Structure 1
């Protein structure tokens, strides 16, 4: 037997769907048969529930995170669905009504139904002590007076004022200016509902006798647009502000992803603003055409034929505009300009606007957390697995923190354990708990987050100039607020003070009545921040960027499937799905900014701050960005942005004008024009110019106005009076631990380097080029130049250069990314070590190639005349053997050069941590390397009494590297004679050039025999011919009148260089922390 569902509330409100199959799934996953919008229906899980036909009846099995409620009662197991059962998918989520379909009964088209059977809004929870037994469904609510009620899915448009006795239905979203009247039971104030002064609220004694009719003078006329889209002969009507078109299964006009290949996933959208409908192409692959002309944006008048891709599907768009009456905005208690989003907030952290998600009967002991074993289960990254414990003690409730990451708050202050009385409240993450006589009510503030800023002041310590001068603001839930003003007036400073990036010197910021500065670590995850600079790596694709961001930001233990689901939701929400595999550097400016916003939306923050997101965008992209930010507020976010442009300021709910760090205005755009006496908002800047030098008067004029009283003074929370100067509390960081962070950052860094093929090849090709230069330039026929010592110097210096140049820009070029990730949960040590770990492999590859080429190309022996100095001192054979090879062990030399390169990496990271930008960092590299060469001992040995020179030399990594190279090349006493009677170790130019002579190395035994007669003539080299005997500044070795000077062969250089690397990494971490402190 077929069944059908009528959607009473949600993104598809008003639709009726019929199912003939015996089993089907409900969820946000596009693979489900009954799908919901992943960007709007957020309480619906990917696979929320399954409905099956069993023995002639339909049964529902819940698989969701947020629960399924049948006629207001939570489903605990498989239940049987009966006629007119109303299902709620998550607390406050979509509502659908189940019904059986008689055989051959036609399903009327949703748009053709003038009226549908009505149901009263379902309670989100049962009353304490009145819950029916498990698996038993309470009777469905019955309709009453359908003639006086709007149908489910009917969206009250501007001008629709509910009449007495009218009950708003699920899915009703009151529009701007809609005022809730008495006699509206169950009405929850929605965005834009502004209670009028003196109007009794639902549930109050005065509400039962108050008149419901609005006064005639309280109305105004606004335009209402109905959009009808004809697709393949079928007409679909929409009365909403946003209509999405594409292959996304959750689009309003959805196309088949397997057949409509010219249509992009997010192809186009229609946006209605101020009675004007506009079609936007969402940077689709094949373009959007109107009447044969490709467009990016087009205002619609009706009758247009839209083609999705050349030769693709066609849509015909008809518009119907009507004038309807709407109440005028009341006194500016929390008024909005166009869309409206605010109801006044009262009672500590609870306002009338905050949705209740459940009531739980009180037990002697209860636990709260993310774990299924808890009595109150909350699915949020801000809630720990076992977050808090509740113990009833007499009439009080003892609330104890169970070692959570984000703490428990009472009265805006973090507590370890405290008792609250009946009527008291405590906060965990975005959830507020109200203690009642027999139950605990839980409220979700994620779509009801407000900000109080009180007298924020920031002063330059040197010039004493006020960047911010006692600025107070009240940002209401779901508001879109734009911060404006002349250049240098403090816009970005105010934004950073509000979001905690740079805290104000004085003043207080509250987030839902919790002191933001004092409890920054605990509540910062509810705040998103997009700085002016991009916070994404250009080499990664959008998909991989979000992949790594999700692994770093989402709570530990988040399943991979859930991470991917969240990424797909964000891609679709920001219209980036079709571009997900593009590298970021190939995106337009607007697309890159959207990717930065997507990174922030992964953690579902309640409020998002953006610093000039439209900077550098053309007018078309700027408009798209502003509409996107407007859309975020319609999804429950509070958005605050800094902007310079005023072309689309009508999309904002509030505008904030700053002048020289002073608040000149805060209110809606119409109020601004009236307050400053201008017709056009840009003319406000002329008023500022007229008051130049007397900006204090602008501040005082606004503070004395009624607008200031209505929008700020009368709205600020009373909690601002306390806790402003308390020191910040230390909190745990949400997200992966240090080892997991290190691994994720390392993976990301490896992918960044491997994707940047050109730069990586340039780095790698340096090594073989340097090796060839060494082979060609260091000649073996000039004994007095000491070719082996020169070769060691060049190779050690090259290794130091490789490491330093590779690392010198790696921190500075990510400064904006690092700063934002530090605000979230990034730890310094994993970040630094991930850079070092990857760069050390790159350095190892470079020095290995260089040494291998030099080692195998410089081989063989050459006889030559003894150099002049040898003859002068009676040395007859010291110059007969000219070494072309690299004396000593290959692997010992490789280890020495590797440690030298690690010192270079450490120096480069240190420079990068200190420098302000990449240019400065590269400018500092020569200043780092030149002293290394000068004090390496290659240009003279300091005397024993030159302590400063010797001390500086001991601090140079190149000195120790060069010394170790020579030690590796030294003869040892047991190497001075071989079994064939030929010497195995001969001095060529100094005490460090040795090469074991083997028979296979000598094409003519005469070379070896020629040396035997003169071996007894070898004497010690005078100090004037020596660089230094033992390498570093050490005393000459003790030796007898033996055949050759014997130097000490040790591995001290390895140990010292390793210690230097560790020291530099510690210094890098210290400077990174100092930079963090400076930002604070």
Structure 2
């Protein structure tokens, strides 16, 4: 019989393996090795309690199925009394279309010796170092438990399967085919060598384990247990056989488990067994440690005493190899409600299954899970449109993708009505009947009769009852659960003592737990692949929420429009006293608060809202780095688009920055980059706040506080520069550096000279702008690192420095940052205000103009000579003593389109004289000239310096003079030269030149237009300047 291979029986999604000496019983009876679930109450039984047996027939030397039922077994829809088992045989039970049993035997015994060692010239590994021989171990009759020792020393690592190697994997060409969704196509391979058979991992996504330890290459010893995904292979020296624990001995075994934290005993000597194909309910009053127990059984918490084994493996010592076999379904739904069921499962399959799983294979796995949980008809429904029971099934479906054999659920019926409660319990019953071990914590006692056993815990985690629900009356003296709960709650020690008296085996002293092994890295695909999958899913989630998407689209338009209510039309030009002197500063404040608000509002609800989902995905392989990186990339793209909308509205409505580019050749682009970086870093800060929040209710207060701090500490509204404490505190907020970078781009200290501070971070120099952007990026990197640390699976990495030491390091680094910035900005401080023009004093205090401004303007003859237009010599001159009104789009270009414009000359001058002269014979020929006096040369020189002409070069402008129809101008070059500004522009039928210059304390402003163009304005301005003494 030793030559007969083990038998693999598959029923639905469950797989059972039996050794040759086992007589396998199949039926609907509780004691059946392969239990086929009942059709349901009131349905006709087509499956007998004992329907067939499967055993090795010594006469033929093969497995044989023998009918023992009334309704028979069917092969190819024909009833047969018996059938010889062969690979891929399918038997229908009870009817031609009844439950189907699938069988496999052929590939389960592989004589490794027949694979000869490859010749030396191949890529085979070099022979390993000799190792001391280990004493022989007898091969047990039952499938062996893994040895609690590390594997033999590793051989030289190979680069891939050499010729003649015995490959292991799920691919059809593998010598040892493993039907496991977590196995790679070629997962590992075996190579015979002089020192023994060598096992090599083939770069698999989920790793290869020997005796619970992850290995890359190892020399095998007889009895070693090789774990591929959820499948165990036992190496017997000359063969490798696929083996799962037999139904009678597999499943989970809990022995005297205890858990104490800070002196509080949470669990006390809990013992029970749960075999494959069984459903176990964990019940008890509040405070009984039910949730604590299932977290311990799932490997999340380590016991302080006792031991938990699953399929012969110590759950905590070998957790790395068991992680994928355990499916944990928390009380909260672990599926995104905005997605459809199919979308949620497909994204989960991409994240959980090996990277070499094809799209068709993933689809097949998803379809199988949908069918098993009866969700196929709901596949295209959004999860938030499902009933409570259907949502719970969707959460379970995510776990079934990787084929776990242990399924643990925490309060799956919480909040459900009785009908949905029954549906969920029926689902769990079917999952158990398919061969899984199912544990469920529940407060609902109505459908406990569906369970195979009940574990009742008293407060303090003390076992009160463990057995079938039908026998609780004889054990507890009553079947009234209300009385039972009342008694165990009031007398937990007495109830536990009664249990120990009736169960002496549970009263043994608890064994110390085996030293816990490393958690190990969960099975996962590559970080880049995970990042792309999470990014695609994040985009799907955003666009699936229509209200949220609408909010994201409208928000930048609303915030951008707020800049238009800032009074004034100077924009980012040089402000003047009495003419919206604070407009540039106010625009910067609005734009930067918009960037900060958009970034934080975009992400602050994200992590806290899907924390439960992420923790479960992380436990089965999702990398925290991939998860966080995907979110930062997606949200950065959104903030970049939102910021572009805000900048476009500000530039179109108020005008572009006028003081020249720092880096990108365009001041507008520099301004956009500054705001975008500030918004992205604010989004990362939002993720940090979301990771800190304990619930969604804390989000709004956090958002309000951060926005208020950003307004106050940005430095634009309330000066913080040079104020000890406030200045240093502001350096830790992105709003401070975003405002500084934007202020540097627009040269706030020049265009808003009324600012009372001289902050070096605002200087219009590339080095200071680089400092601002660099610190922003540093803050983003620090915030991202903190988020990553908070997201990492607790205990999933090597122990780091103590918490106190890490805090000390953080404090030292923060102090160093503050010290460095204090030194760097040591020259910052207050400054006297520098208005572009002095405030207009009362009339009586205005000093008299020292020259007659009207006399410096040319007469008609001089104009006609320069303009080469004789009719202008006798034309009527229109004089003026006040600025000319008019508006332009863009607004800052009004001063370019007209001479004597109110946009150029705000109140504060000491005198003004202007003239306008037209050619009566040609309306395209005319001139305007103004001479404007100021208290001194410095005040006069500030007028050309403050003009916003540079930003209007090569711009189409619509200009409307007071009382006149709009005119379309095409402004060309704008040339500054030693305090003189010269601009040229064209209109239909004429070309114009505009010159703005100074002489002593007089500002000269001349505009000339003619059909042929020319430099007449410059010539007339020179004549006027020559008359100013």
Question: Is TM > 0.5 for Structure 1 vs Structure 2?
Answer: yes
Alpha carbons 2:226, 2:233 under 8 Å: kept: yes
Indicate how the Cα distance of structure 1 residues 787 and 757 shifts in structure 2: closer, same or farther if over 3 A, else same.
same
> Do structure 1's residue 896 and structure 2's residue 674 form an aligned pair?
yes
- Give TM-score, length-normalised by structure 1: 0.57
Indicate how the Cα distance of structure 1 residues 652 and 436 shifts in structure 2: closer, same or farther if over 3 A, else same.
same
Q: After superposition, where does 1:241-252 map in structure 2 within 5 Å?
A: none
Partner of 1:991: 749
Out of 533, 538, 541, which is 1:752 matched to?
A: 541
Partner of 2:494: 697
User: Alignment partner of 2:272: what SS?
Assistant: strand
- Report the alpha carbon displacement of residue 634 of structure 1 after superposing the two structures with TM: 1.4
Which structure 2 segments of 5+ residues have no match?
Answer: 1-6, 18-32, 36-43, 86-91, 102-139, 147-162, 571-577, 660-664, 800-1029
- Report the alpha carbon displacement of residue 1056 of structure 1 after superposing the two structures with TM: 2.5
Partner of 1:814: 610
Alpha carbons 1:10, 1:171 under 8 Å: kept: no
User: Alignment partner of 2:631: what SS?
Assistant: helix
1065-1074 or 670-679: which moved more? 1065-1074
Aligned length: 687
Alpha carbons 2:354, 2:525 under 8 Å: kept: yes
Partner of 1:387: 188
User: Alignment partner of 1:704: what SS?
Assistant: helix
- Report the alpha carbon displacement of residue 558 of structure 1 after superposing the two structures with TM: 0.7
Alpha carbons 1:950, 1:1033 under 8 Å: kept: no
Alpha carbons 2:212, 2:319 under 8 Å: kept: no
Alpha carbons 1:991, 1:1029 under 8 Å: kept: yes
> Do structure 1's residue 955 and structure 2's residue 927 form an aligned pair?
no
> Do structure 1's residue 1068 and structure 2's residue 787 form an aligned pair?
yes
> Do structure 1's residue 795 and structure 2's residue 591 form an aligned pair?
yes
| CA distance, structure 2, for counterparts of residue 1032 and residue 141 of structure 1 | 83
Indicate how the Cα distance of structure 1 residues 393 and 370 shifts in structure 2: closer, same or farther if over 3 A, else same.
farther
| CA distance, structure 2, for counterparts of residue 142 and residue 841 of structure 1 | 63
- Report the alpha carbon displacement of residue 776 of structure 1 after superposing the two structures with TM: 1.7
Post-superposition Cα deviations, 1:644-692, rounded to whole Å, max 9, x if no partner, equal 1111111101101111121111111123221101134443213224xx1
Q: After superposition, where does 1:700-779 map in structure 2 within 5 Å?
A: 700-706=497-503, 709=505, 724-729=513-518, 731-779=520-568
Alpha carbons 1:365, 1:392 under 8 Å: kept: no
Q: After superposition, where does 1:176-325 map in structure 2 within 5 Å?
A: none
- Report the alpha carbon displacement of residue 762 of structure 1 after superposing the two structures with TM: 1.4
Indicate how the Cα distance of structure 1 residues 632 and 940 shifts in structure 2: closer, same or farther if over 3 A, else same.
closer
Q: After superposition, where does 1:930-969 map in structure 2 within 5 Å?
A: 930-942=708-720, 944=722, 946-969=723-746
- Report the alpha carbon displacement of residue 609 of structure 1 after superposing the two structures with TM: 0.5
Out of 324, 334, 339, which is 1:535 matched to?
A: 334
User: Alignment partner of 2:438: what SS?
Assistant: strand
- Report the alpha carbon displacement of residue 417 of structure 1 after superposing the two structures with TM: 7.2
Indicate how the Cα distance of structure 1 residues 856 and 425 shifts in structure 2: closer, same or farther if over 3 A, else same.
closer
| CA distance, structure 2, for counterparts of residue 375 and residue 512 of structure 1 | 25
| CA distance, structure 2, for counterparts of residue 429 and residue 1077 of structure 1 | 19
- Report the alpha carbon displacement of residue 906 of structure 1 after superposing the two structures with TM: 1.0
Partner of 2:704: 926
Out of 37, 40, 56, which is 2:12 matched to?
A: 40
Partner of 2:776: 1057
Alpha carbons 2:307, 2:511 under 8 Å: kept: no
Indicate how the Cα distance of structure 1 residues 550 and 39 shifts in structure 2: closer, same or farther if over 3 A, else same.
farther
Out of 467, 474, 483, which is 1:683 matched to?
A: 483
| CA distance, structure 2, for counterparts of residue 991 and residue 943 of structure 1 | 13
> Do structure 1's residue 153 and structure 2's residue 73 form an aligned pair?
yes
- Report the alpha carbon displacement of residue 725 of structure 1 after superposing the two structures with TM: 4.4
- Report the alpha carbon displacement of residue 952 of structure 1 after superposing the two structures with TM: 2.0
| CA distance, structure 2, for counterparts of residue 528 and residue 422 of structure 1 | 31
Larger Rg: 2
- Report the alpha carbon displacement of residue 777 of structure 1 after superposing the two structures with TM: 4.0
Indicate how the Cα distance of structure 1 residues 1076 and 543 shifts in structure 2: closer, same or farther if over 3 A, else same.
farther
Which structure 1 segments of 5+ residues have no match?
Answer: 1-8, 12-37, 45-65, 67-91, 95-110, 128-137, 156-166, 173-235, 245-249, 252-343, 351-362, 862-880, 882-886, 971-989, 995-1020, 1038-1045
- Report the alpha carbon displacement of residue 39 of structure 1 after superposing the two structures with TM: 7.2
Q: After superposition, where does 1:626-641 map in structure 2 within 5 Å?
A: 626-641=425-440
| CA distance, structure 2, for counterparts of residue 953 and residue 672 of structure 1 | 66
Out of 578, 581, 593, which is 2:377 matched to?
A: 578
Alpha carbons 2:295, 2:301 under 8 Å: kept: yes
Indicate how the Cα distance of structure 1 residues 39 and 427 shifts in structure 2: closer, same or farther if over 3 A, else same.
closer
> Do structure 1's residue 494 and structure 2's residue 293 form an aligned pair?
yes
| CA distance, structure 2, for counterparts of residue 642 and residue 928 of structure 1 | 41
| CA distance, structure 2, for counterparts of residue 1047 and residue 237 of structure 1 | 81
Partner of 2:654: 858
- Report the alpha carbon displacement of residue 616 of structure 1 after superposing the two structures with TM: 1.3
Alpha carbons 1:425, 1:433 under 8 Å: kept: yes
| CA distance, structure 1, for counterparts of residue 484 and residue 52 of structure 2 | 51
Post-superposition Cα deviations, 1:365-392, rounded to whole Å, max 9, x if no partner, equal 7554445565323232444534353647
- Report the alpha carbon displacement of residue 607 of structure 1 after superposing the two structures with TM: 0.9
| CA distance, structure 1, for counterparts of residue 514 and residue 678 of structure 2 | 49
Indicate how the Cα distance of structure 1 residues 392 and 649 shifts in structure 2: closer, same or farther if over 3 A, else same.
farther
Alpha carbons 2:72, 2:95 under 8 Å: kept: no
Partner of 1:20: none
| CA distance, structure 2, for counterparts of residue 687 and residue 860 of structure 1 | 78
User: Alignment partner of 1:665: what SS?
Assistant: strand
533-542 or 929-938: which moved more? 929-938
Post-superposition Cα deviations, 1:321-373, rounded to whole Å, max 9, x if no partner, equal xxxxxxxxxxxxxxxxxxxxxxx9956439xxxxxxxxxxxx99755444556
- Report the alpha carbon displacement of residue 957 of structure 1 after superposing the two structures with TM: 1.9
> Do structure 1's residue 830 and structure 2's residue 626 form an aligned pair?
yes
> Do structure 1's residue 508 and structure 2's residue 307 form an aligned pair?
yes
Instruction: Give the aligned CA root-mean-square deviation in angstroms.
Output: 4.6
- Give TM-score, length-normalised by structure 2: 0.59
Q: After superposition, where does 1:582-601 map in structure 2 within 5 Å?
A: 582-601=381-400
User: Alignment partner of 1:489: what SS?
Assistant: coil
User: Alignment partner of 1:487: what SS?
Assistant: coil
Partner of 2:641: 845
Partner of 1:1005: none
User: Alignment partner of 1:655: what SS?
Assistant: strand
| CA distance, structure 2, for counterparts of residue 652 and residue 171 of structure 1 | 35
| CA distance, structure 1, for counterparts of residue 434 and residue 441 of structure 2 | 20
User: Alignment partner of 2:348: what SS?
Assistant: helix
| CA distance, structure 1, for counterparts of residue 348 and residue 782 of structure 2 | 31
Alpha carbons 1:940, 1:1027 under 8 Å: kept: no
| CA distance, structure 2, for counterparts of residue 420 and residue 721 of structure 1 | 30
| CA distance, structure 1, for counterparts of residue 213 and residue 749 of structure 2 | 73
- Report the alpha carbon displacement of residue 437 of structure 1 after superposing the two structures with TM: 7.5
Partner of 1:611: 410
| CA distance, structure 1, for counterparts of residue 81 and residue 498 of structure 2 | 42
Partner of 2:930: none
Indicate how the Cα distance of structure 1 residues 445 and 622 shifts in structure 2: closer, same or farther if over 3 A, else same.
same
Q: After superposition, where does 1:408-423 map in structure 2 within 5 Å?
A: none
| CA distance, structure 2, for counterparts of residue 525 and residue 909 of structure 1 | 29
Out of 907, 917, 929, which is 2:685 matched to?
A: 907
Alpha carbons 2:143, 2:246 under 8 Å: kept: no
Indicate how the Cα distance of structure 1 residues 848 and 408 shifts in structure 2: closer, same or farther if over 3 A, else same.
closer
Instruction: Answer 1 or 2: which has greater helix percent.
Output: 2
